[in-house]
């Protein structure tokens, strides 16, 4: 094992000479995520402030005047606009209006006769400002509807409770920590897999096919170190870079969370993140990601050493990240956690185990099954890669 450590040390020493790579690996994550998250939080807050302080532009068709006074009485939230040129729906799509409301012509007469009338609201569901306009309209209409109902009940000398036979009280069984945990459980395994694979990929190509191109592999093979030690050393380096990349990116994201929570005023969510990110959860996450990272490193090493050059290695290894993305997206789909057979599918079971771990619904049997399968798979891949790459044809394929 001492030889493998020497090879890994040699790879890290080469890495230390490349200042650009050191910047992209160790410094950029701590600049990138705070900048992105800070910008998103700032823009989101600015947009929310603008929408909150800006009246929704509404085109109202109300021949009988049943709702005109209601909207005119709230100029802070509604600005009545004249009929736009052309089609009303197109005007909403062009963001000349946020909402179009058409009240039935006989609305006033229907109210006097205690009958129901129709209101048609047209919005653009793809625009947040249009959704906000409809929400404001609903909120303005709700007390008016209640007042109309109360008047009708008074005319009938009926109890006001006649219009409200049941009062439904809804209690949320999930606290903020559980909600945030479920959200993190969906995203975290996906992000970890992508970061770990992409972090290993470039360094794996450099230390395998890149060493062939630089013609330094022959001098390395001329040393007294056994070939399996050389292979294990490179494997240790590739694995370490994947783990380092994942940890640094996650750490940077964790440090950037306060900017999102602070920008949105969600102190409860920030506290929930701190509550669920306890040492046990983080330790179990790291424990199960280690063999998965070793599996990725073996896959990259196997393809990289057998490639003739870095271009060929990149072409062979890069498609793997699309498979990782597919598996990550698949595990985020609703109902996936109910498919019991997925607990025995490699890689997928790791994502599901972490998803339940962070959502405080961990199944220890599924976790240890996923861990054991991943360790076994990583060990098998290590055995296969060392046996295959110990051959002359694999090492000197050019």
Regarding whether 294 and 207 lie in a shared domain, the answer is yes
pLDDT value, residue 362 = 73
Band of residue 100 on the pLDDT scale cut at 50, 70, 90: very high
Regarding whether 131 and 260 lie in a shared domain, the answer is no
Higher pLDDT, 216 or 274: 216
Has residue 75 been placed in a domain?
yes
Band of residue 264 on the pLDDT scale cut at 50, 70, 90: very low
pLDDT greater than 90 at residue 320:
no
CB neighbours (10 Å) of residue 129? Answer: 18
Has residue 237 been placed in a domain?
yes
Regarding whether 247 and 102 lie in a shared domain, the answer is no
> What pTM did the predictor assign?
0.66
Across the chain, mean pLDDT equals 80
Regarding whether 292 and 244 lie in a shared domain, the answer is yes
Q: Provide mean pLDDT across the span 5-34.
A: 77
Band of residue 265 on the pLDDT scale cut at 50, 70, 90: very low
Angle between helix axes 348-358 and 319-332 (nearest 10 degrees) is: 40
Q: Provide mean pLDDT across the span 317-339.
A: 79
pLDDT greater than 70 at residue 270:
no
pLDDT value, residue 177 = 60
Has residue 355 been placed in a domain?
yes
Backbone angles phi, psi at 119, to 5 degrees: -120, 125
Higher pLDDT, 242 or 7: 242
Q: Alpha-carbon distance 374 to 363, whole Å?
A: 17
Has residue 46 been placed in a domain?
no
Final residue belonging to a domain, choices 107, 131, 163: 163
Higher pLDDT, 172 or 325: 325
Regarding whether 193 and 86 lie in a shared domain, the answer is no
Nearest 10 degrees: CA dihedral of 272, 276, 277, 279? 140
Regarding whether 73 and 7 lie in a shared domain, the answer is no
pLDDT value, residue 392 = 59
Residue 136's CATH number = 3.40.190
Beta-carbon contacts of residue 21 (< 8 Å; ≥ 6 apart): 15
Regarding whether 190 and 338 lie in a shared domain, the answer is yes
Regarding whether 128 and 90 lie in a shared domain, the answer is yes
Q: Alpha-carbon distance 314 to 281, whole Å?
A: 35
Regarding whether 180 and 145 lie in a shared domain, the answer is no
pLDDT value, residue 123 = 92
Has residue 282 been placed in a domain?
yes
Strand partners, 99: 58
Higher pLDDT, 283 or 97: 97
pLDDT greater than 80 at residue 160:
no
Domain containing 259 equals: 2-26+175-395
Regarding whether 7 and 109 lie in a shared domain, the answer is no
The most confident of 34-43, 178-187, 231-240, by mean pLDDT: 231-240
Final residue belonging to a domain, choices 130, 163, 196: 163
Has residue 110 been placed in a domain?
yes
Has residue 205 been placed in a domain?
yes
- The residue among 359, 336, 360 whose CA lies nearest residue 348 is 336
Regarding whether 330 and 297 lie in a shared domain, the answer is yes
Q: Provide mean pLDDT across the span 160-182.
A: 72
pLDDT greater than 50 at residue 228:
yes
Has residue 275 been placed in a domain?
yes
pLDDT value, residue 60 = 92
Regarding whether 387 and 321 lie in a shared domain, the answer is yes
Q: What percent of the chain has pLDDT over 70?
A: 86
Weakest mean pLDDT among 40-44, 144-148, 235-239: 40-44
Are 275 and 180 contacting, i.e. CB atoms less than 8 angstroms apart? no
Final residue belonging to a domain, choices 163, 186, 211: 163
- The residue among 292, 60, 304 whose CA lies nearest residue 192 is 292
> For the chain, what is the domain count?
2
């Amino acid at each position: 094992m001492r030889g493998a450590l020497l090879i890994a040390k040699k790879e890290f020493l080469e890495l230390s000479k490349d200042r650009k790579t050191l910047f992209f690996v160790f410094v950029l994550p701590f600049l990138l995520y705070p900048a992105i998250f800070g910008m998103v939080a700032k823009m989101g807050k600015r947009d929310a402030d603008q929408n909150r302080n800006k009246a929704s532009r509404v085109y109202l068709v109300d021949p009988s005047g049943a709702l005109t006074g209601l909207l005119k009485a709230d100029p802070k939230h509604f600005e009545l606009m004249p009929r736009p040129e052309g089609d009303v729906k197109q005007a909403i799509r062009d963001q000349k209006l946020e909402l179009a409301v058409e009240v039935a012509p006989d609305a006033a007469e229907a109210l006097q006769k205690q009958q129901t009338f129709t209101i048609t609201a047209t919005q653009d569901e793809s625009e947040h400002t249009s959704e906000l306009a409809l929400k404001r309209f609903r909120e303005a209409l709700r007390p008016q509807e209640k007042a109309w109902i109360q008047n009708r009940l008074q005319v009938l000398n009926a109890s006001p409770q006649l219009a409200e036979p049941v009062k439904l009280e809804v209690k949320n069984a999930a606290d903020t920590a559980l909600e945030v945990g479920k959200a993190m459980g969906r995203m975290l395994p996906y992000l970890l897999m992508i970061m770990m694979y992409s972090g290993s990929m470039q360094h794996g190509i450099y230390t395998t096919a890149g060493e062939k191109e630089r013609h330094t592999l022959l001098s390395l093979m001329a040393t007294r170190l056994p070939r399996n030690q050389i292979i294990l050393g490179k494997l240790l380096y590739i694995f370490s870079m994947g783990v380092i990349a994942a940890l640094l990116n996650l750490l940077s994201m964790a440090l950037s969370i306060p900017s999102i929570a602070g920008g949105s005023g969600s102190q409860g969510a920030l506290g929930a993140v701190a509550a669920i990110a306890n040492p046990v959860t983080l330790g179990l996450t790291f424990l199960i990601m280690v063999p998965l990272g070793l599996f990725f490193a073996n896959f990259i090493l196997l393809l990289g050493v057998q490639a003739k050059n870095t271009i060929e290695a990149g072409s062979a290894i890069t498609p793997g990240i699309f498979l990782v993305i597919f598996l990550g997206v698949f595990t985020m789909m609703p109902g996936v956690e109910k498919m019991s057979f997925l607990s025995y599918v490699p890689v997928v079971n790791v994502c599901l185990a972490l998803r339940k771990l962070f959502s405080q619904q961990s199944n220890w049997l599924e976790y240890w099954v996923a861990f054991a399968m991943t360790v076994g798979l990583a060990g098998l891949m290590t055995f296969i890669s060392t046996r295959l790459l110990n051959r002359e044809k694999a090492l000197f394929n050019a």
